[in-house]
Amino acid sequence: MLKELLDNNKYLICAGLSTLSLVFTSISVISLSKSVKEITRDLEPISVWAVSQNECITKTWRIDGKNTQGMPAKVWSCNGGGD
């Protein structure tokens, strides 16, 4: 009797399982989207800082009148190093 019930309703059962799968996938995508938005919002200050650091490093050519084109000196200067 159970086999007969399953055989007669197999398409309906598959359609129901597919619908449930789509619902759970949609919920998962919505949750993932919210997580990505939160991460993006949290990383924004770091991104702004990185842009300002890159601009400073590319524009820094001299420290105290000396031509110090080395990267460590530029990073040091842009991060507030010095007396």
Question: What are 33-52's pLDDT values in tens digits?
Answer: 999 999 999 999 999 999 99
pTM: 0.52
Please indicate, yes or no, if residue 19 is contained in any of the structural domains. yes
- Count Cβ neighbours within 10 Å for each residue of 32-70 and write b for 16 or more, e otherwise: eeeeeeeeeeeeeeeeeeeeeeeeeeeebeeeeeeebee
- What total number of domains does the chain contain? 1
Please indicate, yes or no, if residue 37 is contained in any of the structural domains. yes
Would you place residue 73 in the very low, low, confident or very high pLDDT band (cuts 50, 70, 90)?
confident
Domain range for 65 is 2-78
Please indicate, yes or no, if residue 83 is contained in any of the structural domains. no
